[in-house]
Structure 1
Amino acid sequence: MVLGVFGLVGAFFISQTQVKAVSLPRKCSVQFEIDGYKDTANADIVIDLYKVADAIEDPVYDTYSYETIGAFQTLKDKLVDLSTITNQDYQAIAQEAAKLVQEQKAGTPAITTSLDARAPIESGLYLALPHSQNMEDYFRTIKTPQGETLVTYANSVLHTYNFQPMLISLPGKDAMNGEISSANPGTWNDDLTITLKVEESSRLGSLEIVKSLNQFDGNGNATFVFSIAAYKDETRQELVYSNVESIVFDGTGTNSVQLLNCIPVGSYVVIEEVYSGASYEIVGASTQDTTIVSAEEIASVSFENTSNNTDHHGSSVTNRFTYNDMGMNKPEQDFGGQ
């Protein structure tokens, strides 16, 4: 009988040609790394490892099985016949295990290790959950082509990193030709290095435009229109967000509009009052600039207008653009003024 396991990091192996070689329990170690994302160094990433099952050595073959422990015993039936479990099955089991952690049913991690550090750990099946250190709740649900998926995440100032929950089995054997197979030669590997799969996206900040009108002509609502252009940096070479917003007055005073969680953090933003109505004029500069410094703070700019003592009227059209990782969408128009 030859069984193979796929879709599990450090999966075990069975071979008819080898005598029993694995002796359990045994001391192992694991190290996690990320390739291709420089800003992850600023995300203070740690990995919680929850022990899902003990590794139980087989009395005949060069392999081991799992004996689930604690809250993870609800997964026992899904880890019995390992020869039938696909990569998709392991992903689904990892999702269920992560849900138990999210619901605070799994206790504390067996160990928490930092990125690029080699951590000593005993043999067994573990759930790996990367996140930023000191996060009280590091879970979120995202939409994928397969439906809603539970992920963990880490934040730097500029980026968010999503991680899929992952099952890790120690000890393991190296993949051959990119595949984990029971036919692979070699000895058991007690010290695994795992490259985390990660999705990077820009963190989004907010902007408030504050408008003061110190004289009102009394001839109906006054509409003021602002263009917002956000660039990657002050060179203004790469546009990352563009929109138009309006503020309407029915008397003197101060009004504002907020653009929440839509402008990439770190952006250099130029805001221009492009329409003041036919009977109002700008006091001071018509253009302001600012930088979105964080996702937690709202950047703010201010403009002031007054009546020009005429009796002219006009109207405005506001084109709204929103930004996502695929670019800017088509405009939706708002009509303001009289």
Structure 2
Amino acid sequence: MKKAVFKSKGLIGIILGALLIIGCLQITGLKAAGRINPNTPITITAKIAENDQSIFAQEFDGKLQIRLYKIADIGETGKATIEAGFEDIDLSILDQNPSPEDIIDNIVAVAEPIAKDMEDYTTIEIKRGDGESEKTVTMPEGAGIYLYVPQPAADRRYTYTFTSYILYAPTSTYIMTGQGSDQWQYDVEFTIKSEAEQAYGDLAITKTLDTFNKSLGKASFVYKVTATLDNEVVLNNVYSIDFDKAGSKTRTIKDLPASAVVTVEEIYTGASYEAVGNEIVSGLVIKPGDTVTANFENDYNGNLISGGISAENQFTVDENGNIIWTDKDGNPKEQLHMEPAETFR
């Protein structure tokens, strides 16, 4: 089943905006009004834009955590000094009028793997379930270059990934836009940009056969599986489980879209076996990265009719795996596709 990725339309905006910030680093010593006060606290705000129409902005109701790593210290003159642990980063790329891709490849891509193993970071947490769209932290003596790394998130249907980037603090209107005031601003912010990918989970059909009559040969049981998502059918198929002795077997249907609602119906038990309990399990909801199970139980009913699919002539399977389901009078009722037998666990 093909997986879908949903990209935020504003992804380029974050890169271009950050490029303006970083691309002016070497200008700041000349254009900024006065020296930076490295003792002034820096406030950093992470925001989800008001006009963000992404799936994340519209649907996610969990907690988003963003880690802030200070990768360089900024002195009074605006000169950057790499912090311990990030020595592999070469900031000289900032002198070369870099493209967004240059910054990602030469700074972000180098810094992020290093930061992943570090315990020294500041966390910003935005609680979407509480209606929060932004959160601010204060960094004492915080003048510097920061790497921000939003952590992957997930909900009942999607997994979310985010753009990591860098920011320069303090900043100024001139640095941000190339014009206007050069007065230092110690309050900086960045906007979260996301990608959403459909999550998937599995369905297990577990069959328990209490008693098996060996003289009748193989016993076949057939299940119709229907899954719907957003009122659309995303799966409508038939699966079989065969037995040559009593016991339990499980057949797993993989990669169903998370949040899909599934109904499993046992549509064939053979003439010599009967259901013990439910023949339909409905309302199962697929969970991301997990398996939901439909349980069925059958027992020998005393009849002496062999239990293969052709026993009652209710099903005809053609060479393409299509199964024609007929009623007791031989009238075609439905044509479905039956998946071939697979390895059971």
User: Do both share a fold (TM > 0.5)?
Assistant: yes
Residue in structure 2 matching 1:88, options 101, 122, 138: 101
- Name 1:268's counterpart in structure 2: 261
The one-character-per-residue Cα deviations of 1:25-82 (angstroms, maximum 9, x if unpaired) are 243211112233233332x112110100112454xxxxx342111111111x343543
Q: 2: distance between equivalents of 1:66 and 1:190? A: 16
CA contact (8 A) 2:228 2:260 kept: yes
Unaligned runs of 5+ in 1: 59-63, 132-152, 320-330
Which amino acid is 1:196 matched to?
I
Q: In structure 1, what is the Cα distance between the partners aligned to 2:294 and 2:267?
A: 15
Matched, 1:309 2:304: yes
Structure 1 CA distance for aligned equivalents of residues 167 and 305 of structure 2:
74
Does residue 1:49 correspond to 2:42, yes or no? no
The aligned counterpart of 2:158 is: 159
Cα distance in 2 between the residues matched to 1:12 and 1:83: 9
| Matched residue, 1:38 | 58
Query: Aligned ranges for residues 14-25 of structure 1 at < 5 Å?
Result: 14=27, 18=31, 20-25=33-38
Alignment of structure 1 residues 51-130 onto 2, 5 Å: 51-58=70-77, 64-75=78-89, 77-79=90-92, 81-92=94-105, 93-102=107-116, 104=117, 106-109=118-121, 111-115=122-126, 116-121=134-139, 122-130=142-150
Distance 1:225 1:48 in 2: 51
Using the TM superposition, give the Cα deviation of residue 156 of structure 1 relative to its aligned residue in structure 2, in angstroms. 3.0
* Structure of greater Rg: 2
TM-score of the aligned structures, taking structure 2 as reference length: 0.68
RMSD of aligned Cα (Å): 3.4
User: Matches of 1:164 and 1:45 in 2, distance apart?
Assistant: 13
The one-letter code sitting in structure 2 at the alignment partner of 1:29 is: T
* CA deviation string 1:113-135 (max 9, x = no partner): 2221111121211111222xxxx
What displacement does 1:244 show? Answer: 4.0
Q: For 1:334, what is the secondary structure of its paired residue?
A: coil
Rounded Cα–Cα distance in structure 2 between residues aligned with 1:154 and 1:81: 31
Where does 1:135-150 land on structure 2 (aligned, <5 Å)?
none
Query: What is the percentage of aligned positions where both structures have the same residue?
Result: 25
Is residue 2:344 matched to residue 1:334?
no
Hey, which of these two has a bigger chunk of strand by percent?
1
Asked if structure 1 preserves the Cα contact closer than 8 Å seen for 2:18 and 2:167, the reply is no
Distance change in 2, residues 1:50/1:216 (3 Å):
same
Contact 1:9/1:168 (<8 A) preserved: no
Distance 1:263 1:311, change over 3 A: closer
Please give the per-residue CA displacement for 1:92-131, whole angstroms capped at 9, x wherever unaligned: 22122111122x2x3410x212221111121211111222
Equivalent residue for 2:13? Answer: none
Q: What is the TM-score when the length of structure 1 is the normalising length?
A: 0.70
Uncovered stretches (5+) of structure 2, i.e. residues with no partner = 1-15, 127-133, 311-316, 323-336
Residues 6 and 85, structure 1, Cα contact 8 Å, conserved in 2: no
Q: 2:279 maps to what in 1?
A: 286
